[in-house]
Structure 1
């Protein structure tokens, strides 16, 4: 004969009945009620989460921010006296997209360091950002150091997509052209090696053969 067992309902939903309480039914063996084991913690989907800094931004997001910052707030925009003997001018263009970049550097003849740099660029956002970043990069460098800059350095820093790599090539050719122009004005200056140009991008010329100015 069955014996009625009085139990008290749990006070709150989700409370597990103690395993000590087991129904007593004659002739039937019952198993104690046990707590369910917690569900395993879900593995993080994004493997790059470890690169998130305290502000919650990934390294790729920070790089994109740098690109937009140089585009929205370009540094060192302007011109230097083109006829000054201590100023080198680089004027290059990319026929593929129509971007044109003018870069000017002022060089200390005693130390061969770039003391000032200005640029003007007509082109896409990536071209403007590449120009702006380049001016900050070369300021304070010697001509030898500036001549070693490669377009891959600029593209990596700004995280340029493959379709915009020509913008970083434009910047590399601009600094090489400016250094070469400075040596043309100062033939007695110790020249540096300008070999290894990233891309064959010609200077922008007018239809009459003269060099265009920005």
Structure 2
């Protein structure tokens, strides 16, 4: 176990995932993306994945955050890689904490961030595939453009409520 300047004790496995994160980056040909932020601490996690035959064939993350956020994001990608989408949706923050041999209590919320980004990426994949199947979009670029237009419309609606 190692302590940081805030007297947080991290397991060797957490430190390993922090210092040597697995699956960092963006899947170039992703078909699912999840973006989650935590306003209370400023952490943000993005997970991209490529699903083939309902199995996660590739998964990567980008994260802005502390050692706990980096380690848990890395761990989530390892836990999800190779699983089918239904199995990956069953991954919980407790699974991540157990996989990493524990996290300081103040850092357990970090594991939820990566799990939520994974869930969002899977739901995004399912929606993209459904719209493609129905002929409403032809490819990922078209889907992303429509999704951004909807997001901008929602933001514009609430711009006056600040």
- TM-score range with shorter-chain normalisation? 0.7 to 0.9
- Give 5+ residue unaligned stretches, structure 2: 2-9, 134-150, 157-162
User: Which residue is 2:11 aligned to?
Assistant: 64
1:121 aligned onto 2:121: no
CA distance in 2, matches of 1:149, 1:88: 17
SS of the residue 1:79 aligns to: coil
Which structure features the higher share of strand residues? 2
Mapping 1:22-41, distance limit 5 Å = none
TM-score, with normalisation over the residues of structure 1? 0.55
Which of the numbers 11, 15, 23 marks the counterpart of 1:76?
Answer: 23
RMSD over aligned Cα, in angstroms?
2.4
SS of the residue 2:68 aligns to: helix
Deviation at 1:105?
0.9
- Give 5+ residue unaligned stretches, structure 1: 1-56, 58-62, 189-204
SS of the residue 1:209 aligns to: helix
Deviation at 1:141?
0.2
User: Which residue is 1:100 aligned to?
Assistant: 44
Which structure features the higher share of helix residues? 2
CA distance in 1, matches of 2:119, 2:92: 10
Greater RCO, CA 8 A, separation 6+:
2
Equivalent residues, number: 128
